[in-house]
Each structure stands twice: as C-alpha cells, then as structure tokens.
Structure 1
Amino acid sequence: MASTSHRALRLLSLLEPRRRWPLRDLAARLEVSERTVRRDIDTLRELGYPITTVHGPDCGYRLDPGHTLPPLLFDRDQALAVAVALQTAPSTVFGLEDDTARALATLHQVMPDELRASMESLRLTRLRNYWEFPAPPIAPSALTAVGTAIRHRHVLVTETLRADGTRPAPTDDDFEPARRIEPHHLVVWAGRWYVVAYDLADDQWRVHRVDRMRPRPTTHRFAVREVPDNDLAHFVMSSHDRGDTPADWPCTGTARLNLPAHVVAHWAPGGSVVEDLDPEHCRLTLGAWSWAGVAGILATFDTDLTDLHPPELIEACRRLAHRWGTATKPTSPATDDPS
C-alpha cells in the first residue's frame, strides 16, 4: 500500500505542470505497466482529483484546472522547493514576513516526519553578498498589477518614482511624465524585479524596475511582440538604462570606462549605475565598503579608466597600483650565510 501511495503521489506531481501526458510516457516515467497507471489514475479520481482522459491515437491524461481540489500533496523535492521559496520571498517583496512564516508553519505541520526533518535542515539564515546590494522589497500590489497586466496583455500606465519611493513634482528636474507600456515579461536579477516592456511613447523595448514604478492598469489589450533578444536575462543585464540607482554604500565613486555601456551593465555588480556616453565609452557609478573595494571592482573591467571621482577613489587607485607594482617585482635570491 505504501508503494502504491508513493507512486500515486509521483503520478500527481507529473500531471500538475503539464497539459497532457500520453499513457505510455507516464508508464515509462513511473517504470510500471500502462495497466498500473490506469489503476493509479482511478485512485486519484476517487480522492477527488479531476483527471480527464484524452482520447485519440495518442491517448493520455490531463489534470483539469479550475476545480476545488483536496488538500495539495507534495513529494519530497516539491516540499523542499516550497520551503526554500517561502524563506527567500520576503527579501524582494515587502510585507510578506508574517504570511510566509504562517505558510511555513502550516506546511511544517502537515509534513511527514522525514520531510519535516529535511525542511528543518533548510532553515535559511539570510546573508548579504558584499558585492550585491538588492533593492528595497517591492509592494505586493505593484507586483500583482504588473503580473496581471502581463497575463491579460493589458497596457499599463506607469509613473516613475524616486529611489525613496516618492513621486517627483512636475516642477522637479527629475520629473518624468506618465508612460504607456506593454508589459511582456517579469525578470528577477540581483535581488531586483524588472519588467521587460514595449514603450508606446518612443516605440522601443525598455527595461523598468518594478520598485521604481507606480503602475495603473487599463483594459486596453495589446498583441504579443517578439522580444529583440531571445535571452531575456541577457537583455535585462545588458540594458544600461533599466532604472537602477546607486546603492547606499559607505564609499561611492565614478569613472569613465573605455567600454560600451551594454558590456559594463552586464558585469557591473547590483546597485551600480551605467551611463551611456558614446558607442565606445560609458560612466560607471558604484559603491563598496572601502575605496580600495571600489577601485578593485573598477580594475576587473580590464580597460583604461579616466575622469575618476572623488579624490579618495583616485588615491585608492594609486595605493593599489603601488601594491600591485611591488607584488610584480622579482624577489632577490636568498644568499648563504657565510657564518
């Protein structure tokens, strides 16, 4: 009976993410006969899962959506994935600490002993990488508004916010008028949520920080467009004007690099800003815990640096150059002690 229950649980986990499974493929994945798969399908139906038989030359089964299901069942890997996701979600979405804690407690109560022990071993301590500075958590309402617009293909009207979440007044220098965009994809990178969207004002693709947006939904639908870069992650990382702002580090400096903006944007750490100067040059603003740290990151781009600011950064570069120069000098051979 335990083997049958375990197999039925695996069968259910296979049916959930896919629209339809051919019978022979299910039998192959479960390493049982097609007759056994049919019996397990009947078992799941008796438990209330709405599994439909798909007729035709390549018959199979699918789990219908939109029905009230019995309590969800997770296999071991699914339960651990949910536990990890619940513990990492509050770092990027504001106000979920209590909700995720309650969800973890509920999941913990219904897990078998073996899974509960595995979950306990995955209780995470959140550490911050010194070279990555995630954005402040975003409001669930903004994330929901953007996600819903993507799902329904509805145009969004967005207002650009400052880094502190305030909206500039029309008389302020950093004020930008509201824009109409077609949101196509959500991407998470370096602890930041970005939306890849087609801007209707200037007819081009752009990347927007969701935490820097105040989205207003509309009912105006748009057609799917082909994203200019088939690799969404590459498109986001190589977009220098994605709305990033300098992170709050103890030391922040700038330099002019002899590299294109899209190259530097791809490899710059989170919390840095890349400004496009011309096709072959850009300005990078970044921070670190020390001036030597800022200089060290700049050195990783392996290109000429000019127009450095502030003076503390220039002095740090001189100190590092001296240290590196000393390190490359050949050491004197040891001499025998005549005594």
Structure 2
Amino acid sequence: MLETSARLLRLLSLLQAHREWSGADLADRLGVTARTVRRDVAVAVGLRTAAGQGIDGIGETSVRALAKLEQVLPGRLRRRVGALNAFTVPMLRGPLPSSVDPAVLTELANLCRDAERLRFEYRDHDGTPTRRSVEPHRLVCSERRWYLVAWDLDREDWRTFRADRITPKPPHGPRFAPRTPPAQDLAAYVSQGVSTRAYASHAVVRLLVPLEEAAERISPSAGTLEPDGAHACVLRTGAASLDVMVIHVMLTGFEFEVLEPAELTEAIRTAHDRLARSLARAGESAPRTPESAGRTRATRSGSGAAC
C-alpha cells in the first residue's frame, strides 16, 4: 500500500513538472509496466472525482495535477470517465464505494449522458433475477453503494436500483427524451428511498441534538435528517417492523421524541416494560454477597427508623 501511494505521488509530481507525457514515458520513469500506469491513472481519476465532492486535504495544486491525468487517457476512455463524473450525484461527503464493476458504472453513466434506454438483469434482495427496461437518469453514490435513478418502463414510475445488482444486457436503446426527475435533490430522494420507503414501517422522530451532531452518527442510508431549531433535528427512517424500529432509534444514542406513528410509542412502552421485568429478575437472581447483605440490613434499619 505504501509503495502504491508513493508511486501515485510520484505520478502527480511528474504531471506537474511536464505538460505532456506518453504512457510509455510515464511507465519508464516510474519503473513499472504500461498496464500499471493505466491502473494508477484510473485510481487517480477516482481521487479527482472525490476532490470534486469537497474532500478536505486535497489542495488546489493537487486538483490541477489530478485533472491532468485525464489528458493521459485515450480520447474514448477520457470521454467515459467524464460521463461518470458528470452523471454521478454524491449522497454525502466520503470515500466512493468500490464494490461495483467500474465497467458497469461507466456504461450506466454513458447511457445517462446519451439518454439511451438500458436493458439489464436485476437481482433483488433475495437473489431473484428479473429483466428490466428503463430510461436511466443519474447515478447516486453513498458511502457504501452506488444507485441508479431511472424511469421503469414496465412499472411506469421512477425507481432506484442498486448498481451492484445490475447486469447490463445490451444491445441498448433507442434514445429517449429525458423526463423531469422525481426530485430536485436526487441525493435526498435516494436517501429517503433506501432508508425509509423500502421498509414496511416508517417513523418520524425528533432527536434532541443539533443536526450536525446527528449527521456524524446517522448516515443517509439509515435515515434523512432535517433541522428543527438550533438544538434538535427530525429523523425520518424506516425498518422491517416497529419492534426493529425501537432498536434502530435507541441505537442512535440520542434522546428523542416520537412524532409519528403513535404505535411506535406503544412499542417503546412494551419494550420498556419487558426490560424492566428482565432487570427485576436479574436482581432477584443475583448472588448475595456480604456487602449486598449489609446494604439490605442498613436499608431496612433506616426504613424502620423513619416510621
């Protein structure tokens, strides 16, 4: 890892010191194969995409150097990388996910750019494959996954697809007239979809902490956050059931107030009673020690004196 990092820094240095390099020249200077240079260039272009999201620590000089990397790419590949940058919407600041085949991502980005229909096989959460035909609009990336926002031609509605479950089935086409997107803020739209709409149970909860503090712990894939004054925020989220929702909200670690649904308050009360009974049984079955026995006698003595 250190060797690769050092080579990338050396690559950036060479690009800043010279206006143009051929792939062969760079390979000779770095002491690696042309294939390794192409791989390093792809990694650095990914860093450029991250730089475009406002990642701290990448200065103006480095951004200029990263931009030069695109000049090393052949025209066709440079156009594909440009499409990936232009048609990707970041859901948050953070490292880009890497579990999706880059070839799939660039193919999806190109189809978004060219307004060309996409045919693909899609695996749902239990692995069942289906054939889909859509009009792709944008890619949205979160801290862990890539999503495709597209108009589903069979269902006649907007849908969000996980890119790692997509297997393109060309030939694609024909071209289409782009539709008005489902929301102006596609990052928020996808966040709400994957964190709330995808689940059977939904909830709205006021967290008694500032939005910035809650955002450090709650990712967009776990729920959407809205400001509610200077010292609170509203969380909209979903879960498989209300019982799971209770655990989900508790694990935020914040004080909260349930806004809706009322059934969630009842589920919390039921969980509270169950935990109280469990604690009571734990106290009854705890082994008695001399110290605990002494505390019990002292308590009883104090109670008698008070009477």
TM-score w.r.t. the length of structure 2 is 0.40
The answer to which structure has the higher helix fraction is: 2
TM-score w.r.t. the length of structure 1 is 0.37
